[in-house]
Chain A
Amino acid sequence: MKAHRKQRLFIVLFIVAGVSIAVSLALFALSENINLFYNPSQIAAGEAPQGQRIRAGGMVVDGSVKRDQQTLEVLFEITDYQASIPISYTGILPDLFREGQGIVALGRINEQGVLIAEEVLAKHDENYMPPEVAEALQKAEAAGKAHFKPTAADSAVVTQEP
């Protein structure tokens, strides 16, 4: 009878050991910061590979959007409030694309360090508000009292990273 108990104990120990190894490996992986998503400071620091398809995300810099008059080409910059990188995109932008808004761009970085985007997706945050409130906030921000958007936007970018 004892032998059966011993066998069961052996299996339980095996399972416990395996699970603990799995957990420690997973914790190690977490510390390694796996990422398929680059923020502007990483790209500016040259961490992103050139010529590979990557994803970059950040806020569109106020006043940086320049539209070509003849073609659909748009040039703009995105920022994470530490660094900014230029993005070029040819095509129709989503409705939600506007300055100060978070976006995700898919594309390759060329030699000049410009991200040539194949796709631009507008990211919307969890902050919903009526237009009047937004207007009031903007006015307040213009008056230099509240710093509403950047903080909310920052948090939106940070959540994209593990």
Chain B
Amino acid sequence: MSMPQSISSVFMAILRRDMLLAFRRRQDLANPLVFFVIAVSLFPLGVSPEKSFLAEAGAGIVWVAALLATLLSLDGLFRSDFEDGSLEQLVLSPSPLYAIVLAKILVHWLVTGLPLILLSPILGLMMYLSSDQIVLLGLTLLLGTPVLSLVGAIGAALTVGLRVGGVLISLLVLPLYIPVLIFGAGTVNAAASGLSVAGYLALLGAFFMLALVLAPLAAAAALRISMTNS
């Protein structure tokens, strides 16, 4: 019998493995980003290119697009591991599944959430946001996109191995995303109205902490259940 490895070494090993996997399939990584940019640029075309409208709605538009882009990328979080049997090996590891799932979610955020944040200033400029607002938008995305990945992972774990997976994830996860959306976009709007944003940021931080510690628990439980789907 082998001694179990330390949590941190297992965490790092999964991190390394999934980053390597993401890097080998880097052409797939661009898709959510392209979607993000296109979705945002649809609003000036579809609603109104007026400067005052965009400046007012811009933060909300970028947030909605970021949310949808994350959603788009969630289906792949566990699916490929499920299909080639790697997920069985992960679930049967003597190390806590909690840490493994957390590492996988971190990689998901690094390859989707982080690029979205890096792109957001450009989109903020296109939406005529002021430089303060753009900084704040980036900050809210920094606190909010991890929550999207974490909560989304629960949906992905519940639907892994199901044929209708992709559509179902949106149905399960979108209602849970609403608080993050309200306060993410709300922070930028509050700042535009000259209000203090400390409370908003604190709340986003609270969501982040809560999701960080609880979502892997639910996702791990969901993964164990989903092993029945074959």
B199 close to A28 (CB less than 8 A): yes
**How far, in whole Å, are A25 and B200 apart by their CA atoms in the complex?**
10
- Considering the complex, which residues of chain B in the window 69-99 have a beta carbon less than 8 Å from any beta carbon of chain A? 94-96, 98-99
Residue interface mask A26-52, B partner, CB < 8 A = 1: 101111111110000000000011001
**How far, in whole Å, are A150 and B192 apart by their CA atoms in the complex?**
34
**How far, in whole Å, are A29 and B196 apart by their CA atoms in the complex?**
11
Asked whether A29 and B194 contact (CB < 8 A) given A18-B213, A22-B210, the answer is no
Residues of A within 8 A of B4 (CB): 3-4, 7
Q: Is the interface of A mostly helix, strand, loop or mixed?
A: helix
**A10 partner, pick from B7, B205, B207, B209, beta carbons under 8 A:** B7
Q: Is B206 an interface residue (CB 8 A)?
A: yes
Q: Is A54 an interface residue (CB 8 A)?
A: yes
Residues of A within 8 A of B194 (CB): 49, 52
- Work out how many contacts link A and B, with CB atoms closer than 8 A: 76
- The residue among A8, A23, A29, A36 with the most chain B CB atoms within 10 A of its own CB is A29
Question: How many chain-B residues does the 8 Å CB contact rule pick out?
Answer: 30
B192 close to A21 (CB less than 8 A): no
Residue interface mask A1-18, B partner, CB < 8 A = 1: 001100110110011011
Asked whether A19 and B198 contact (CB < 8 A) given A3-B3, A54-B193, the answer is no
**A29 partner, pick from B98, B206, B210, beta carbons under 8 A:** B206
A11 close to B98 (CB less than 8 A): yes
- The residue among A8, A23, A52, A54 with the most chain B CB atoms within 10 A of its own CB is A52
**How far, in whole Å, are A49 and B195 apart by their CA atoms in the complex?**
8
B199 close to A7 (CB less than 8 A): no
Residue interface mask B45-88, A partner, CB < 8 A = 1: 00000000000100000000000000000000000000000000
Residues of A within 8 A of B56 (CB): 53
- Considering the complex, which residues of chain B in the window 165-216 have a beta carbon less than 8 Å from any beta carbon of chain A? 186, 190, 192-196, 198-200, 202-203, 205-207, 209-210, 212-214
Question: Which B residues form the contact surface with A (CB < 8 A)?
Answer: 3-4, 7, 56, 94-96, 98-99, 186, 190, 192-196, 198-200, 202-203, 205-207, 209-210, 212-214, 217
